[in-house]
Amino acid sequence: MQTVQYEVTLKELNGTVVKKFTGERTQVQPGESQVLKAAARLSVLHFWSWGYGYLYDVETVLKVNNAVVDAVTTTTGFRKTAFKDGMIYLNDRVIMVHGYAQRTSNEWPAIGMSVPAWMSDYSNGLMVESNGNLVRWMHITPWKQDIESCDRVGLMQAMPAGDAEKDVEGSRWQQRISVMRDAIIYNRNNPSIIFYESGNESISEAHMLEMKAIRDQYDAHGGRAIGSREMLDSKVAEYGGEMLYTNKSAHIPMWATEYSRDEG
């Protein structure tokens, strides 16, 4: 039998400890599985917001018989969201989304997609400086560097998984389910992600239920709405996005996903 314990340390990015707390000591028998938890009430936190990418390091430690056997540091932020009465709330304030529907490649001339992190911060920061508060990445999940950059500059994101510009069936749909699951698991600690986009075109209510179940399973408390472009009359989707026009709703939020579209 082993005695195990879960320990959490919340730090400022400069290393200053904000809070340290531990879960209960748990006895684990050989071959047995246990879920370890730790929780504490915090105060005087800086909330992540638009243009205010305040982040913390959360160090989680697993101890066995008082010896550290595993430690992980996760950089994340804290914010509050709500999606109701046709409106989007960020930290208890209604926010009207406006920004850019950017190709996920987000490349620069000459150097393409292989850009250093500072350049991602520069380009994503330009969106914020131009009064944009949301970037809707197109069709597929962006790379981790852009996601973390949006965390730092305070730019909300709509994160797609995989898309076919239409609903699909069979193995193609199962692939999209798997991609959404993996994308959520990989990016659920990034506070700038506010929306999960299930498709660049409407999907069936049954498929939307499947997507919602994945969100509920892997990110139940992340404060994110899951929906799709179109889906304006859906009873399942948590937001809808018309391509060209601004719509109003008394139910789920709706926003123009590609307003003022220019094909060049």
Range from 23-27, 60-64, 216-220, 248-252 carrying the lowest mean pLDDT: 248-252
Rounded CA-CA distance 58/17 in Å is: 10
Q: What is the CATH number assigned to the segment(s) 2-76? A: 2.60.40.10
What amino acid is encoded at 223 in this protein?
G
Within this chain, domains 2-76 and 81-241 share the same CATH topology? no
Task: Reduce the DSSP state of residue 163 to 3 states and report it.
Answer: coil
Q: Is 195 exposed, middle or buried (0-12, 13-18, 19+ CB in 10 A)?
A: buried
Q: What is the CATH number assigned to the segment(s) 81-241? A: 3.20.20.80
The first and second tokens of residue 226, run together, are: 């899951």
Domain boundaries, the chain: 2-76, 81-241
Question: Residue 233: which pLDDT band, with cuts at 50, 70 and 90?
Answer: confident
pLDDT value at 146 more than 90: yes
pLDDT value at 246 more than 70: no
Range from 83-87, 98-102, 247-251 carrying the lowest mean pLDDT: 247-251
Residue partners of 134: CB distance under 8 A and separation at least 6: 97, 98, 99, 100, 155, 156, 157, 158, 194
The first and second tokens of residue 66, run together, are: 């008082």
Q: What is the pTM of this model?
A: 0.93
pLDDT for the residue 94:
97
Question: Residue 257: which pLDDT band, with cuts at 50, 70 and 90?
Answer: confident
The distance from CA 61 to its chain's CA centroid, rounded to whole angstroms, is 24
pLDDT value at 260 more than 90: no
In the block, tokens 């179940």 appear at 213
Digit-coded pLDDT (tens) for 157-181: 999 998 878 999 999 999 999 999 9
Rounded CA-CA distance 100/85 in Å is: 24
